[in-house]
Amino acid sequence: DGHIKRPSNNFILFRKIAHDQKNQTTALSDYNERQFSQIIGKIWKGLSQGEREEYKQLGKEVAEMHKKMFPKYKYQPKRDK
């Protein structure tokens, strides 16, 4: 349909990486998505500034790649009528 998704932010990148690890670890597969999201949110809040900085840098890299792939992209949220 031609829709271009927004680039992922820092937390979303963190969650995607954690979700990939969840799928590879049998001990974590017992958690449903809701429980897992709650755990990931608590872990994110507990990260040090340095650890968050790594994801901030990753977010910048993803945004740059997105900008190169879609140079005319502009975020335009649709308003409810």
- pLDDT tens per residue, range 36-54: 889 899 999 999 999 999 9
> Is 21 or 12 the better-scoring residue by pLDDT?
12
Q: How far apart are CA 62 and CA 67, in angstroms?
A: 9
| Inside any domain, residue 49 | yes
Question: Phi and psi dihedrals of 61, rounded to 5?
Answer: -65, -40
Side chain identity, residue 29: S
Q: pTM surpassing 0.75?
A: yes
| Inside any domain, residue 47 | yes
**pLDDT confidence bin for 12, thresholds 50/70/90:** very high
Tell me the CA distances in angstroms from 49 to 27, 44, 73, one per residue in order.
Answer: 28, 11, 31
Axis crossing angle, helix 33-46 with helix 10-24, rounded to the nearest 10: 130
pLDDT value at residue 69: 95
| Overall domain count for the chain | 1
The domain in which residue 55 lies consists of 31-70
Q: Mean pLDDT for the chain?
A: 90
